[in-house]
Structure 1
């Protein structure tokens, strides 16, 4: 499972879809977009993205400087930070997301037919739900 994931991930990372928004930035933008209010605390983002907490904090700082996200004080924890998806960030997410989705279809679709893709989606959802903590 890990070798398959690494092989697919390397192909997706190497694909020329990212532009000025890299893989990790897109991961943060997409994660924020999936939330109803487009907001998340850093510690909650950390549970969902593929970065260490210090790396994520530095990335969010750069993304805020670029206008892709805003950083607000956490109303429930004065020490915490809430990351907010901005309009510019959402535009970047849509632009990159469309190209990334096509890249996924091309890379994964080359190996799996529609029935296998549906089964993979179902199994991935089941694994994610079973390991959510």
Structure 2
């Protein structure tokens, strides 16, 4: 193996590890947010992704495409959020076997409350470390990585 190939491999690995380590450090800091004491970050992730859906409803497998949970974990999460009155289920009209998941009024309110605090803390952490230009560069680079794997941003 040439030294150029070895150096490239090392650079790729170090870049990847730095990206992951930064994400872990930031997530740990964000999870200290007091609002996450009543609603965990993964629960918030589910509510947030449901809030983005234009129709207000997603199939379980569609939700699974947007969160970092396994199918069994997301099913249990949905059960817990439903029992707390934050989400609801309904039968899909186009497929009576399909189940759609959406936010309740309380779920919408909780998502907005936690979301505001979450965004404020993200802003505080990012502003300390990066300029606006650097944030744009980071956004461009992470979109480029995601697109290279998924084919869409």
TM-score, structure 2 as length reference: 0.78
Where does 1:68-107 land on structure 2 (aligned, <5 Å)? 68-107=86-125
1:16 equivalent to 2:26? Answer: no
Which protein has the bigger strand share? 1
Among 66, 77, 85, the alignment partner of 1:67 is 85
Determine the C-alpha separation between the residues in 2 that align with 1:84 and 1:118.
32
CA positional deviation for 1:79: 4.2
Determine the C-alpha separation between the residues in 2 that align with 1:92 and 1:126.
32
Partner of 1:118: 136
For the 8 Å contact 1:72–1:82, the answer to whether it is kept is yes
Determine the C-alpha separation between the residues in 1 that align with 2:143 and 2:106.
30
Count residues with an aligned counterpart.
Answer: 133
How big is the alpha-carbon RMSD for the aligned residues of Structure 1 and Structure 2? 1.8
Residues 63-91 of structure 1, C-alpha deviations (whole Å, 9 max, x = no match): 11111110122344444421111111110
Which protein has the bigger helix share? 2
Rg (Cα) greater in structure: 2
Contiguous gaps of at least 5 residues in structure 2: 1-18
- Secondary structure, aligned partner of 1:84: strand
1:131 equivalent to 2:140? Answer: no
Q: Looking at both structures, which has the greater relative contact order when contacts are Cα pairs under 8 Å and sequence separation is at least 6?
A: 1
Contiguous gaps of at least 5 residues in structure 1: none
TM-score, structure 1 as length reference: 0.88
